């Protein structure tokens, strides 16, 4: 259970150093905060050092699931955790075909019994509400190319703040040629 | 005074008692002395003062206690000094007074009294200051006991510091000039230093360490003379450079004592102003070269360099220019100073000289140079050259074998790291960089290589030519392949090895050039280097090369497009075509198939979608065979290398997910692949896995390439049959029914018209019945509960659909009954 006011970091698909050298430096500054109380990682960390870094952000409350490229790790396929009044599930998403399809993902959310399903794999950030569920994809934090060879990927991650019956999501994106991230805010109400 | 020649050895209690006794005598005699002064009785005053001073003849006190006693005597002597200066009271001619104190029976009180009178004598101006000073200085040579002599000298300098014929003082002229003032302090310094050095020989050899510590504590008694010199008003730049400094330096290097040289050379820098140092740098540096090899030059040089750097940073341009070429001065003397380390170190020490201290001096010089001359890149090379030369000479020493201490190796690392941070790849163009590196052992070379990699990655420096890649990769070869001296255990520490290799991988992403041809050449160059690393390194290094090359495909595509619009002149045709890149990807991934089939499978699939996308965009059939070839490779790999059933299950999803995104494949080829993978799905080890995998394969008839509702239905019906069989034999698997229901709902939602609402209705019914049944069996109750929760979620979802504000959607689900 995350304390009131603490933020949940949604992040994943690093693929470092296979597809990208590192997280953008402006993201690193943002992530260097003690306000994050929980980390939910959609997988594909790429290397042990990334997994270790994630664990230093929020200590015990760090949940990493197995991505399609995490061959050398023993992360679980999925996980379910409570954030405020919400049940949140995390799964990388390569297991659910067609990839990134809301109609399929919403079924997986039902199977896990969660209100919010966090997935990755497409490397495109998105927030979808369907059939009473929220489907959230924080994108790739490094802007790595995805499994279908798309290179025009914008680096992104999300911070989630839960207040009673509502969830506020902050999406940070580093657009091409920029040095500072853009922030979008979405409020989701049950 | 029985133990006059000995050295104090008593315990702390003894020392306290001795000090107390002496203090009592000093107090008593001082009392009578002051009484005599009050009655203007010169004779009595001298007698009591003499008795008091006699306490300083002791050899039993430790230096720090002797110092305390001295301070007491000194403060009492100020009464006598005041009395001497007051002619109206003692009513004697100064010359007579000066003569009369010399009748004291003992030499030590005699000389203390003489120094006291001398101050009053000079003040009275009854005789020229220079003559009195010379006389006292000479007479004081009479005390040669190191500790007693040293303190007498200190007394002399304290009493006479304001009685010198310094420039502008009242004693100048007939009393002499700055030369006399200097000569007096210099002689005193000279004598003090010699006495101080001799303290080490006073007493048994076994106590030498303690004695040396105590001697060190007394160093300020010598250093005070340098402070006095610096305070002389006549100490102009000219006088310093031409007269004072040569004498002082000659003296310092002539006294062959490490502690003395170490302390005094450093004090000189602290005491005299920086402007003087800049003017006399050459003299200072050449003196350093003459210092004992055992003197640690690092603190001295670092102090000097820091002071000069600060001074020059604040000085105006004119001053800096007039300072001349400091770098060249330093550099020309440095070699001599450094090579002191190669000389045999005194007696008794055998073996290899330690190279750490001279290398530390060079590292400090490097820092100094980089901060003072940031633009003079070739200076850096010169310093590296000095280090290499020094190491060369070290290697050539007989019997040393070139073995370097860890500390010395660290210093070389330091020397190399500084310029790497500021110059990045530029250091590789330096003549002496590689030469210096070659003196390091494997581990140290690897560390330097890692620092280089980190410097490039953290500063995000681009690699922008094949030459860059060649130079860098040749340099970091300890990371890239097994060298002659690579230890056998390299790679045994898996975590560390992985970290190192992953750092290397980051370099691939620093390849940046606007010309795709150049980027390709750089990547093939890297691939060549990585190829020498063996399978344990290739597992790491091939992936980044693969993805970087894959990234060239959309770039070349964009280039071709621009060429079409703007013409060949504006955008030259690429020498390396997309086809060439795909061939490169093929070769690269083939090398991974055996050692890492999991990775290779993914790479084949990603490459095939990329080729398919190019085919979609160009539509000329050139890339369809490539996409198909990659898919075929993926299938072959799947069949031959992946035997673990959970990996097979994962692989099927990867292949199906990929095929869903493929659109330009020849229909026959598509069918071929999709049929094969569906067959594999149906043959998975466990039935529930089969059911889920085949259900995923149904997607192959409903994707970008296909829209075949009938075959979707047929595929799903097969799944339902499998599901029925599975749940019949194990009602714990009842959740599978709800998954089937979900899949049917999905197809109903996406308008696959062979999947009708009737199917949903009957599947709902089946789920309810089977779950109820499974609930009754304690063996399957747990799983049944889970299935029930899942079914509940699905029902809630369907309810939402029925109640959707989207009228069309609500209508589609209207007929469904949710009881």
User: Each residue of B706-763: pLDDT tens digit?
Assistant: 999 999 999 999 999 999 999 999 999 999 999 999 999 999 999 999 999 999 999 9
Position B424 pLDDT exceeds 90: no
What pLDDT is stored for residue B614 in this prediction?
96
Model pLDDT for residues B426-462, shown as the tens digit of each residue:
888 888 988 888 888 898 899 889 988 998 998 889 9
**Which of A13, A21, A116 is best to mutate for the B interface (most B CBs within 10 A)?**
A21
Position B157 pLDDT exceeds 60: yes
Q: Which of B647, B745, B728, B635 is nearest to B688 (CA)?
A: B728
Confidence band, pLDDT 50/70/90 cuts, at residue B7:
low
> What whole-number distance in Å separates Cα of residue B243 and Cα of residue B518?
66
Region B142-149 average pLDDT: 93
What kind and span of H or E run contains B16? helix B12-38
What pLDDT is stored for residue A57 in this prediction?
92
Q: Which of A48, A103, A132 minimises the CB distance to B750?
A: A103
Distance from CA of A173 to the nearest CA of B (A): 20
**Which of A80, A89, A110, A143 is best to mutate for the B interface (most B CBs within 10 A)?**
A110
Model pLDDT for residues B752-806, shown as the tens digit of each residue:
999 999 999 999 999 999 999 999 999 999 999 999 999 999 999 999 999 999 9
User: A177 — contact with chain B (CB < 8 Å)?
Assistant: no
> What whole-number distance in Å separates Cα of residue B700 and Cα of residue B664?
14
CB contacts, 8 Å: A104 with chain B: 746
User: A99 — contact with chain B (CB < 8 Å)?
Assistant: yes
Position B528 pLDDT exceeds 80: yes
What pLDDT is stored for residue B400 in this prediction?
66
Q: Which of B609, B749, B789 minimises the CB distance to A149?
A: B609
CB spacing of A106 vs B797 below 8 angstroms: yes
What pLDDT is stored for residue B779 in this prediction?
93
Q: Which of B505, B605, B613 minimises the CB distance to A18?
A: B505
Q: Strand locations in chain A, DSSP E?
A: 7-11, 36-41, 62-64, 78-83, 86-91, 116-118, 126-130, 133-137, 156-163, 166-173, 182-189
**Which of A13, A15, A19 is best to mutate for the B interface (most B CBs within 10 A)?**
A19
| Least confident piece of the model among A38-42, A186-190, B401-405 | B401-405
**Long-range CB contacts (within 8 A, 24+) of A159-163:** A159/A7, A159/A8, A159/A9, A159/A10, A159/A36, A160/A7, A160/A8, A160/A9, A160/A10, A160/A83, A160/A136, A161/A5, A161/A7, A161/A8, A162/A2, A162/A8, A162/A83, A162/A84, A162/A85, A162/A86, A163/A4, A163/A84
Model pLDDT for residues B237-296, shown as the tens digit of each residue:
999 999 999 999 999 999 999 999 999 999 999 999 999 998 899 999 999 989 998 898
The burial of B468, by beta-carbon neighbours within 10 Å (0-12 exposed, 13-18 middle, 19 or more buried), is given as buried
Chain A CA closest to residue B611 = A149
> What whole-number distance in Å separates Cα of residue B365 and Cα of residue B334?
9
Region A12-26 average pLDDT: 96
Region B480-486 average pLDDT: 90
- Cα Rg, chain A, nearest whole Å: 15
- Residues of B (452-471) whose Cβ lies below 8 Å from A: 457
> What whole-number distance in Å separates Cα of residue B119 and Cα of residue B242?
29
Cα angle value B497/B498/B501 (rounded, 5°): 85
Distance from CA of B440 to the nearest CA of A (A): 28
CB spacing of B790 vs A94 below 8 angstroms: no
CB spacing of B789 vs A99 below 8 angstroms: no
Position B4 pLDDT exceeds 50: no
> Order of strands across the sheet with A156-163?
A62-64, A36-41, A7-11, A156-163, A166-173, A182-189
For each of the domains in chain A, give its residue range(s) and CATH number, in order of start.
7-189 (3.60.21.10)
What pLDDT is stored for residue B210 in this prediction?
87
Q: Which of A19, A111, A132 minimises the CB distance to B800?
A: A132
**Phi first, then psi: what are they for B700, rounded to 5°?**
-70, -15
User: A33 — contact with chain B (CB < 8 Å)?
Assistant: no
Confidence band, pLDDT 50/70/90 cuts, at residue B5:
very low
The DSSP output letter for B667 is H
Residue A107: which residues within 8 A CB-CB, separation 6 or more?
A: B742, B743, B745, B746, B794, B797
Model pLDDT for residues B9-22, shown as the tens digit of each residue:
567 778 899 999 99
Confidence band, pLDDT 50/70/90 cuts, at residue B401:
low
What pLDDT is stored for residue B795 in this prediction?
96
Position A56 pLDDT exceeds 80: yes
User: B661 — contact with chain A (CB < 8 Å)?
Assistant: yes
- Residues of B (501-520) whose Cβ lies below 8 Å from A: 502-503, 505-506, 508-510
What pLDDT is stored for residue B344 in this prediction?
67
Region A165-186 average pLDDT: 94
**Phi first, then psi: what are they for B107, rounded to 5°?**
-65, -40
Q: Which of B234, B314, B324, B236 is nearest to B279 (CA)?
A: B324
Model pLDDT for residues B685-704, shown as the tens digit of each residue:
999 999 999 999 999 999 98
Query: Which two structure tokens, joined as six digits, stand for B341?
Result: 């380390």
User: A34 — contact with chain B (CB < 8 Å)?
Assistant: no
Position B359 pLDDT exceeds 60: yes
> What whole-number distance in Å separates Cα of residue A147 and Cα of residue A122?
8
Model pLDDT for residues A65-104, shown as the tens digit of each residue:
999 999 989 999 999 999 988 999 999 999 999 999 999 9
Distance from CA of A74 to the nearest CA of B (A): 13
Would you list the DSSP string of B45-76?
HHHHHHHHHHGGG-SSS-HHHHHHHHHHHHHH
Region B545-556 average pLDDT: 97
The DSSP output letter for B143 is -
Chain A CA closest to residue B551 = A151
CB contacts, 8 Å: A145 with chain B: 547, 550-551, 606
Position A164 pLDDT exceeds 60: yes
CB spacing of B742 vs A107 below 8 angstroms: yes
Interstrand relation of A86-91 and A116-118 (parallel, antiparallel or unpaired): parallel
Q: Which of B505, B653, B735 minimises the CB distance to A95?
A: B653
User: B797 — contact with chain A (CB < 8 Å)?
Assistant: yes
CB–CB of B513/B519 below 8 Å? yes
User: B656 — contact with chain A (CB < 8 Å)?
Assistant: yes
User: A106 — contact with chain B (CB < 8 Å)?
Assistant: yes
Question: What ipTM did this prediction achieve?
Answer: 0.96
| Least confident piece of the model among A128-137, B310-319, B367-376, B532-541 | B310-319
> What whole-number distance in Å separates Cα of residue B468 and Cα of residue B540?
22
CB spacing of B746 vs A107 below 8 angstroms: yes
> Order of strands across the sheet with A86-91?
A78-83, A86-91, A116-118, A133-137, A126-130
Position B3 pLDDT exceeds 70: no
User: A110 — contact with chain B (CB < 8 Å)?
Assistant: yes
CB spacing of B654 vs A68 below 8 angstroms: yes
User: What is the average pLDDT value for chain B, to the nearest integer?
Assistant: 91
> What whole-number distance in Å separates Cα of residue A186 and Cα of residue A116?
14
Q: State the SS3 of B227-250.
A: HHHHHCCCCCHHHHHHHHHHHHHH
Chain A CA closest to residue B698 = A97
Region B366-378 average pLDDT: 84
Position A1 pLDDT exceeds 60: no
Return the percentage of chain A with pLDDT > 90, whole number. Answer: 86
Model pLDDT for residues B311-340, shown as the tens digit of each residue:
888 877 777 776 678 888 888 888 888 888
> What whole-number distance in Å separates Cα of residue B471 and Cα of residue B584?
23
Residue A187's DSSP bridge partners are: A168
Distance from CA of A36 to the nearest CA of B (A): 25
What pLDDT is stored for residue B310 in this prediction?
84
CB spacing of A17 vs B502 below 8 angstroms: yes
What pLDDT is stored for residue B422 in this prediction?
77
**Sign of the alpha-carbon dihedral angle for B695, B698, B703, B707:** negative
Beta-carbon count within 10 A of A76 CB: 12
User: B409 — contact with chain A (CB < 8 Å)?
Assistant: no
Position A3 pLDDT exceeds 50: no
Position B639 pLDDT exceeds 50: yes
CB–CB of B478/B486 below 8 Å? yes
CB spacing of A147 vs B605 below 8 angstroms: yes
């Amino acid at each position: 259970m995350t304390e009131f006011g603490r933020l949940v970091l949604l992040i994943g698909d690093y693929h470092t150093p296979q597809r990208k050298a590192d997280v953008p430096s402006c993201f690193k500054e943002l992530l260097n905060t003690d306000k994050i109380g929980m980390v939910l990682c959609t997988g594909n960390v790429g290397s042990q050092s990334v997994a270790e870094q994630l664990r230093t952000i929020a200590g015990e409350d760090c949940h990493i699931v197995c991505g399609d490229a995490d061959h050398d790790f023993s992360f679980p396929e999925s996980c379910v955790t409570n954030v405020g009044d919400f049940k949140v599930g995390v799964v990388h998403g390569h297991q659910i075909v067609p990839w990134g399809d809301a109609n399929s993902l919403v079924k997986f959310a039902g199977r896990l019994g969660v209100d919010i399903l966090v997935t990755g794999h497409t490397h495109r950030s998105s927030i979808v509400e369907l059939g009473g569920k929220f489907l959230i994809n924080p994108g790739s934090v490094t802007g790595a190319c995805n499994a279908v060879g798309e290179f025009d990927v914008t680096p992104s991650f999300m911070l989630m703040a839960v207040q009673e019956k509502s969830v506020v999501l902050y999406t940070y994106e580093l657009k091409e040629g920029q040095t500072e991230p853009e922030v979008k805010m979405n409020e989701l109400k049950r | 005074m029985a133990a006059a020649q000995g050295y104090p050895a008593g315990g702390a209690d003894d020392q306290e008692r001795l000090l107390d006794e002496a203090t009592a005598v000093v107090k008593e005699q001082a009392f009578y002395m002051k009484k005599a002064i009050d009655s203007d009785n010169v004779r009595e005053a001298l007698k009591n003062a003499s008795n008091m001073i006699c306490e300083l003849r002791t050899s039993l006190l430790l230096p720090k206690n002797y110092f305390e006693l001295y301070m007491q005597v000194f403060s009492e002597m100020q009464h006598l000094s005041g009395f001497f200066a007051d002619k109206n009271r003692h009513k004697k001619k100064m010359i007579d007074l000066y003569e009369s104190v010399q009748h004291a029976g003992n030499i030590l009180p005699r000389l203390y009294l003489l120094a006291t009178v001398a101050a009053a004598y000079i003040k009275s101006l009854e005789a020229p200051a220079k003559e009195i000073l010379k006389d006292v200085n000479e007479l004081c040579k009479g005390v040669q006991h190191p500790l007693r002599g040293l303190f007498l000298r200190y007394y002399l300098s304290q009493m006479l510091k304001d009685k010198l014929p310094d420039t502008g003082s009242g004693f100048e002229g007939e009393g002499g000039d700055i030369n006399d003032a200097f000569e007096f302090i210099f002689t005193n310094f000279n004598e003090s230093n010699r006495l101080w050095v001799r303290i080490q020989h006073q007493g048994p050899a076994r106590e030498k360490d303690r004695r040396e510590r105590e001697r060190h504590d007394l160093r300020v008694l010598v250093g005070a003379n340098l402070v006095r010199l610096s305070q002389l008003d006549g100490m102009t730049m000219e006088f310093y450079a031409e007269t004072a400094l040569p004498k002082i330096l000659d003296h310092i290097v002539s006294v062959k004592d490490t502690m003395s040289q170490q302390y005094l050379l450093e004090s000189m820098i602290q005491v005299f102003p920086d402007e003087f140092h800049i003017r006399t740098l050459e003299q200072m540096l050449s003196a350093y070269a003459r210092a004992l090899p055992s003197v640690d030059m690092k603190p001295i040089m670092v102090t000097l360099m820091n002071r000069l750097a600060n001074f020059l940073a604040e000085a105006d341009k004119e001053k800096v220019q007039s300072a001349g070429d400091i770098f060249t001065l330093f550099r020309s003397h440095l070699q001599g100073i450094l090579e002191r380390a190669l000389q045999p170190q005194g007696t008794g020490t055998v073996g290899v000289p330690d190279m750490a201290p001279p290398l530390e001096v060079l590292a400090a010089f490097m820092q100094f140079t980089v901060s003072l001359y940031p633009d003079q890149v070739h200076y850096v090379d010169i310093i590296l050259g000095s280090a290499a030369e020094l190491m060369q000479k070290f290697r050539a020493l007989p019997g040393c074998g070139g073995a370097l201490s860890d500390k010395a190796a660290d210093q070389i690392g330091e020397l190399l790291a500084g310029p790497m941070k500021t110059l990045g790849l530029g250091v590789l163009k330096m003549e002496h960089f590689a030469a210096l590196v070659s003196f390091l052992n494997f581990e140290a070379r690897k560390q330097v290589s890692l620092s280089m990699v980190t410097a490039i990655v953290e500063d995000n420096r681009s690699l922008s030519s094949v030459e860059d890649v060649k130079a860098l990769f040749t340099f970091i070869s300890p990371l890239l392949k097994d060298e002659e001296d690579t230890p056998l255990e390299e790679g045994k520490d898996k975590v560390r090895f992985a970290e190192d290799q992953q750092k290397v991988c980051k370099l691939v992403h620093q390849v940046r050039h606007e010309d795709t041809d150049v980027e390709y050449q750089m990547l093939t160059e890297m691939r060549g280097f990585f190829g020498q690393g063996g399978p344990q390194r290739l597992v790491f290094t091939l992936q980044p090369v693969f993805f970087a090359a894959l990234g060239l495909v959309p770039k070349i595509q964009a280039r071709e497009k621009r060429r079409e619009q703007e013409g060949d002149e504006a955008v030259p045709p690429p020498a390396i075509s997309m086809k060439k890149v795909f061939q490169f990807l093929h070769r690269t991934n083939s090398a991974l198939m055996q050692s890492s089939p999991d990775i290779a499978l993914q790479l084949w699939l990603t490459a095939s979608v990329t080729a398919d996308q190019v085919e979609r965009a160009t539509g000329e059939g050139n890339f369809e065979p490539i996409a198909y070839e990659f898919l075929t490779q993926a299938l072959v790999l799947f069949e031959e290398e992946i035997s673990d059933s959970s990996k097979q299950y994962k692989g099927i999803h990867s292949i199906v997910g990929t095929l869903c995104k493929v659109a330009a494949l020849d229909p026959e080829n598509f069918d071929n692949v999709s049929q094969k993978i569906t067959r594999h799905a149906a043959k998975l080890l466990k039935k529930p896995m089969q059911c889920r995998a085949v259900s995923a394969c149904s997607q192959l008839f409903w994707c970008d390439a296909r829209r075949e509702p009938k075959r979707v239905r047929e595929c799903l019906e097969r799944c339902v049959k499998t599901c029925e069989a599975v749940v019949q034999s194990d009602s714990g698997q009842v959740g599978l029914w709800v998954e089937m229901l979900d899949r049917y709902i999905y197809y109903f939602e996406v308008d696959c018209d062979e999947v009708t609402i009737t199917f949903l209705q009957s599947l709902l019914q089946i789920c309810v019945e089977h779950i109820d049944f499974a609930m009754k069996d304690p063996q399957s109750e747990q799983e049944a509960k889970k299935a029930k929760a899942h079914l509940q979620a699905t029902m809630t979802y369907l309810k939402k659909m029925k109640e959707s504000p989207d009228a069309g959607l609500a209508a589609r689900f209207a007929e469904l009954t949710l009881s």
